[in-house]
Amino acid sequence: MYERSSVAELAESLRSELNRYSVGGKLPSSRALVERFRVSPVTVSRALAQLAAEGLVLTRPGAGVFRAAPRTRTPAAGDTSWQEVALSAEGAAGEVVPRSVDATGVLVSLAAPPPGVIELNGGYLHAGLQPERAMAAALARAGRRPGAWGRPPVEGLPELRDWFAREIGGAVAAADVLVTAGGQSALTTALRALAPPGAPVLVESPTYPGLLAVARASGCRPVPVPVDADGVRPELLAAAFEATGARVFVCQPLFQNPTGVVLAPGRRAEVLRIARAAGAFVVEDDYARSLAHEDAGPLPAPLAAEDADGVVVHVRSLTKITSPSLRVGALAARGPVVDRLRAIQVVDSFFVPRPLQETALELVGAPAWPRHLRAVAAELRHRREVLAGALRRELPGLAVPRPPSGGYQLWAHPAEGGDDTALAAAALRAGVAVAPGRPYYCAEPPGPRLRLGFAGVAGPGDLVEAVRRLRCALGPAA
């Protein structure tokens, strides 16, 4: 049983037994709980800490754990309606314009599914695919490094910046790299640095909902540029720059999320040329480079490695290939824009905690690191084939035009006339969480779409079972 589920179960058991004790009564010792429930001391400690955080027990060092007095007074409900005005902005002629931020598309991939639901909407590797032992060992070694708990340089540790620079390649040097708190933080910093509030920002269509949320939260206006089987369409990109006057284009040239397409070789230089002619930056979100499947073949270099003029602002992260909690990434750029990016990041967060940076350094330098990359590449390929095969057999109406050779999702096209939101709701009722395609578009979608992830489940067997449930819920002609 995973540690986090053991903690939750033990906490629930203890919570249900609290009425056996009077207020101030002492609970059994940690040793007694370990023996009774056959769990580790760490599990007991975490379960008791959870109850203490809920105000149900009190922990007295050296004395034990005691039942806390129940809360007798419920705070009176106040009137918060005034916040509707305070959270809005004055528009033209005094008109009140809502400034709400829609994080729905992001929360879908972050929220844990209900018990018994198979998670095909997640955005991270399942715990069984994460390098937990290697990360634990790296964290232990990092904690013993001299100065590991001191203040790091605001740009990041030099050794980690150098590692990211070598990973990106080309003429990118360590001085061009800033260490960030993951890829989402890097995207936020990039957009805040490059696009003033109210400015248009060109994005691929469809694209990652987290990017759309970042753009809108920054006050920018995302403008879609369609993607086909070879990536973004250069002629439409040029037309969008001309029509909007945008100075930023955000793209994922490698295993684009959600479609999985790779920007074709003939379009790579064209995208850079078009952006350069428009006096615009290309923000390259290289989120999936470490998520290439075993059969992917040689990968194209990042656009940043082929950029001589400082057009590309490159985003890279270790989070997707390791753990949601190892939030270490990088921004790479050349020219005066580096100073702007650094200033925005310092104002927002000062720096990435040094222990995390030291842990990342220990992890990527360990012999277990290349083994982990190979294991994930093989497993992702296997899971892709299992899910795609099950869909072909059980749900032929749910078309997947081109299964990708990288990333962790299939972009499925239900039958025309379907409603992807309704299909996702029906799937959830059947015990499968999938992501509807609507949040991936900042304008009207061309048709219903479903995003089916295969990295967040315990194993391939769950994928087969998920498709069986989907068939029961949606029917073979979905």
| Residue 466 scores a pLDDT above 50 | yes
Question: 290 falls in which pLDDT band (50, 70, 90)?
Answer: very high
Token pair of 155, please?
């740009």
Strand spans (E) along 68-220: 88-90, 96-98, 118-119, 177-180, 200-205
Residue that the structure tokens 């829609």 belong to: 102
pLDDT of the residue at 360 = 96
Domain ranges of the chain: 3-67, 104-130+370-474, 133-364
Domain 3-67 identical in fold to domain 104-130+370-474: no
Residue that the structure tokens 């990360």 belong to: 135
Phi and psi angles of residue 399, each rounded to the nearest 5 degrees, phi first: -80, 140
Yes or no: say if 302 and 169 are a contact pair by the CB < 8 Å rule. yes
Yes or no: say if 340 and 178 are a contact pair by the CB < 8 Å rule. no
Phi and psi angles of residue 7, each rounded to the nearest 5 degrees, phi first: -60, -45
| Residue 1 scores a pLDDT above 50 | no
346-350: average pLDDT = 88
Yes or no: say if 157 and 354 are a contact pair by the CB < 8 Å rule. yes
Q: How far apart are CA 68 and CA 21, in angstroms?
A: 10
Residue that the structure tokens 């499947």 belong to: 293
pLDDT tens per residue, range 137-168? 999 999 888 888 888 999 999 999 999 999 99
Q: How far apart are the first and last CA of the chain?
A: 36
pLDDT of the residue at 152 = 92
Token pair of 267, please?
């379009």
**Which residue from 408, 462, 410, 456 is spatially nearest to 437, judged by alpha carbons?**
410
413-437: average pLDDT = 89
| Residue 429 scores a pLDDT above 70 | yes
CATH of 3-67, one of 3.40.47.10, 3.40.50.2020, 2.60.40.1120, 1.10.10.10: 1.10.10.10
Q: How far apart are CA 299 and CA 320, in angstroms?
A: 18
pLDDT tens per residue, range 304-323? 999 988 999 999 999 999 99
pLDDT tens per residue, range 180-201? 999 999 999 999 999 988 899 9
pLDDT of the residue at 90 = 60
Mean pLDDT over each residue of the chain, to the nearest integer: 89
Question: 295 falls in which pLDDT band (50, 70, 90)?
Answer: very high
CATH architecture of 133-364: 3-Layer(aba) Sandwich (3.40)
pLDDT tens per residue, range 31-82? 899 999 998 888 898 899 989 888 899 888 888 899 988 876 666 777 777 7
CA–CA distance from 208 to each of 183, 251, 362, 441, 448 (Å)? 12, 10, 30, 8, 16
Q: Is 3.30.390.50 the CATH classification of the domain at 104-130+370-474?
A: no
pLDDT tens per residue, range 196-245? 888 999 999 999 999 999 998 888 999 999 999 999 999 999 999 999 99
Cβ partners under 8 Å of residue 90, min gap 6: 96, 97
262-291: average pLDDT = 95
Q: How far apart are CA 334 and CA 98, in angstroms?
A: 37
Task: Please give the single-letter amino acid code of residue 417.
Answer: G
Query: Could you give the count of Cα atoms lying within 13 Å of 185 in the half-sphere of its Cβ?
Result: 24
pLDDT of the residue at 92 = 54
120-141: average pLDDT = 93
pLDDT tens per residue, range 82-119? 777 677 766 555 554 446 677 776 776 677 777 889 99
β-bridge pairing 200-205 and 221-228: parallel
